[in-house]
Amino acid sequence: MTDRTKLVAPCGIDCGICELYESRNNSKLMDYLISKGIPQNVLPCDGCRNIEGKCPVIQGDCATFECVKEKGISFCYECSDFPCTKLAPSADRANILPHNMKVYNLCSIRRDGVEKFAEKSSEIKKTYYEGKMEIGNGPKS
């Protein structure tokens, strides 16, 4: 894995476009995150794989990261139980958190490879949060 592809977490979330990661190059963003209660000492975040799954926005260890590690795989799509309930979509905070993109991201990584996925993950994220839903045709930017 390259430095960039290593930023794609085992669950399919791209830490390379997470605000906590991006705050390394953006002092205004860092101030904003601190004002929202993110402790200064966890900023900037280096990304899930580089911090052994100790994502600062979750309590304790990440169960998904630990599960992938135990199975000796790189991504959840490689698992015979994929997609398990840890990846199930949830409406809870779906407008501000990326959890509902995990399965789509993982399937895209399986189909296209992680390098290609990393090139288009910003667009996937933008379409998720800002796209207008066309039923039967998916969200459109």
Q: Which of 56, 89, 113, 138 binds ligand SF4 (CB under 6 A)?
A: 56
Min separation Cβ 39 and ligand SF4, Å:
12
What is the 3-state composition of the chain as percent helix, strand, coil, each rounded to the nearest 5?
55, 5, 40
Contacts of 78 (CB under 8 A, 6+ apart): 71
- Asked whether position 45 contacts ligand SF4 by CB under 6 A, the answer is yes
Q: Strand pairing partners for 8? A: 14
- Asked whether position 57 contacts ligand SF4 by CB under 6 A, the answer is yes
Q: Which stretch binds ligand SF4 (CB under 6 A): 25-33, 53-61, 111-119, 122-130?
A: 53-61
Q: Which stretch binds ligand SF4 (CB under 6 A): 47-55, 89-97, 123-131, 132-140?
A: 47-55
By the 8 A CB rule, do 42 and 19 touch?
no
Report d(CA 67, CA 70) in Å as an integer: 5
| Other C-beta atoms lying within 10 Å of the C-beta of residue 30 | 19
Residues that bind ligand SF4 (CB under 6 A): 9, 13, 15, 18, 20-21, 45, 47-48, 55-57, 64, 67-68, 71, 76, 79, 81-84, 86-87
